[in-house]
Amino acid sequence: MRIIVVGAGPVGEYLVDLAVEAGHEVALIEADESRAEHCAQHYDAMVLHAPIDAEGILDEAGAERADALIATTDDDSTNLMTMVLGKEYEIDNLTSTVNARHRERLFKRLGVNTLVDPEVLVARHLLGLIQHPKAEGVTALPGRGQIYEVTLDAESSLVDRTFGEIDDDDLLPDKVFVAYVERDDEGFYPREQQRLQSGDTLFVFSSEPLSEADMQVFCKASD
């Protein structure tokens, strides 16, 4: 997949890092010279030092064959202009951060996927880690729900049980389901006959925040 990222702030730089690591072909457009130079030195991506309205910059970034255009700057005007240009190039996947919630409707009119107030999501993530120290990660989803990354310890009631047995015995709260499992650097989706082991990492979706009591089904509280 060819991805064009506009803006090398904290969100944009991390996005470039993840996309390159995942094997995607990435072009980054950044107006600030020092940020552009930093990313050129650290990531295996095409880095273009220019504002998004520079003549021919999207052509140079390969917009005619891009699968996605993502705007991540801290200026909504720049992000909106990026999305308008993306529409002109008929790029299928247009996504943008939106720094001021009241401007989201402008992006939605263009059919753009939006992430509003990314700092709020980070704050919720940090609060989740404080509230659930046994979880290795807690991600608040836009709207409602959270995803928890937890590792089963040997005392968990889920260890040595199949997903079918877990369902039959109602071992998980109704608001919770396991979306994915990682084991020994490999992953799989839950299947009825698959048996969980101590040390498995579960990615768990919950429609409501989990209490400490809820978390103990995965990992017992420390004494």
pLDDT at residue 160 in the model: 95
Sheet of 68-71, strand order: 46-49, 25-30, 2-6, 68-71, 93-98, 113-116
pLDDT at residue 223 in the model: 44
Let me know whether 141 and 175 are in one domain.
yes
- The whole-angstrom separation of Cα 191 and Cα 41 is 44
E strands in the chain: 2-6, 25-30, 46-49, 68-71, 93-98, 113-116, 137-140, 146-151, 176-183, 186-188, 201-206
DSSP assignment letter at 139:
E
Q: Are 37 and 49 in contact (CB under 8 A)?
A: yes
Count the domains in the chain. 2
Residue where a domain terminates, one of 87, 116, 145: 116
Residue where a domain terminates, one of 116, 137, 166: 116
DSSP assignment letter at 54:
S
- Domain hosting residue 90, numbered range: 2-116
- The whole-angstrom separation of Cα 216 and Cα 135 is 11
- The whole-angstrom separation of Cα 177 and Cα 217 is 12
- The whole-angstrom separation of Cα 98 and Cα 109 is 13
Let me know whether 13 and 94 are in one domain.
yes
- For residue 189, give the CATH number of its domain: 3.30.70.1450
Let me know whether 72 and 160 are in one domain.
no
Closest by alpha carbon to 122, among 104, 145, 101, 138? 138
- The whole-angstrom separation of Cα 179 and Cα 204 is 6
Q: Is residue 221 part of a domain?
A: no
The structure's pTM equals 0.60
Q: Is residue 89 part of a domain?
A: yes
Q: What is the pLDDT along the chain (223 residues), one digit of tens a residue?
A: 999 999 998 888 989 998 999 999 999 999 999 999 999 999 999 999 999 999 999 999 999 999 999 999 989 999 999 999 999 999 999 999 888 888 889 999 999 988 876 655 555 554 554 455 555 555 555 555 677 888 999 999 999 999 999 988 999 887 788 888 999 988 888 888 999 999 999 988 887 777 778 888 888 654 4
DSSP assignment letter at 91:
-
φ/ψ bin of 157: left (φ > 0), alpha (ψ from -120 to 50), beta (otherwise): alpha
| Residue 198 phi, psi (nearest 5) | -60, 135
Strand pairing class (113-116; 146-151): unpaired
- For residue 98, give the CATH number of its domain: 3.40.50.720
pLDDT at residue 221 in the model: 53
pLDDT at residue 130 in the model: 46
- The whole-angstrom separation of Cα 47 and Cα 36 is 6
